[in-house]
Amino acid sequence: GLGVEIFMLLYPPTLQDSQQQFNALYDGLKRCKTSFSRFWLAVTSPSTWYFDIHRNIAFIEQVIAQARNHQMDVGIYTTEREWYKITGGFRFFLSTPPIWYWSNCCQPDEIAISFKDFRPFAAWKTPAVKQLRKAFPVCGLIVNRDVYFTPINRTFAELAQQNNASFVGVTNFL
């Protein structure tokens, strides 16, 4: 079934090193007895990263290694443009994490609920998740809207009816 997925926004690397930031996240999740299926590392906002791409790559690799040491599945949340600005296009992962990207190509209502606009870059040939909209109003809530590729043939509604999932947001499953 579906599980909880954690999204980690980093402090600028100059404020805390990768181990401090990861440990703060991990310890907080353990304290709250939160279980989840995947941890997504946001590699965004190039102006908050080092100007040295090698330091950025080392930082990202250290966070991924820390997560995997704790048996956590890791994904990367970024775009081609931001990945290249922050890492110079780094693609030599020991094991390539899944990619969650977003598209700014169109008006929000024109963005396709598909991965047809994804262009392979760096180590990624196919995406796992696409963010369609940020800060999208739904029933008085502000949520993000994502398309998530899954081999699960059951719909979210079916899972929710079986009390196998809780949900805050709008997500489409392909």
Q: Is 135 contained in some domain?
A: no
Q: Is 136 contained in some domain?
A: no
CA angle 29, 80, 109 (to 5 degrees): 85
Q: Hey, what are 37's tokens?
A: 């299926």
User: How many domains is the chain partitioned into structurally?
Assistant: 1
Q: Is 23 contained in some domain?
A: yes
Q: Is 170 contained in some domain?
A: no
Do you know the residue count of the chain? Answer: 174
Q: Is 67 contained in some domain?
A: yes
> Are 101 and 127 in contact, with CB atoms under 8 Å apart?
yes
- For 54, which DSSP code? H
- The string of pLDDT tens digits covering residues 19-51 is 888 899 889 988 988 887 788 999 999 998 999
**What SS3 state is found at 30?**
helix
> Are 68 and 74 in contact, with CB atoms under 8 Å apart?
yes
C-alpha 100 chain-centroid distance: 5
pLDDT score of 146:
79
This prediction has a pTM of 0.79
Q: How far apart are CA 109 and CA 101, in angstroms?
A: 17
Low-confidence ranges of the chain (pLDDT < 50): 1, 152-157, 159-160, 162-174
Give the torsion sign (CA, 91, 9, 52, 63): negative
pLDDT score of 89:
96
Q: Is 53 contained in some domain?
A: yes
Specify the residue for token string 């909880």: 4
Q: Is 45 contained in some domain?
A: yes
CATH number at 113 reads 3.20.20.80
Q: Is 150 contained in some domain?
A: no
Domain of residue 122: give its range.
5-128
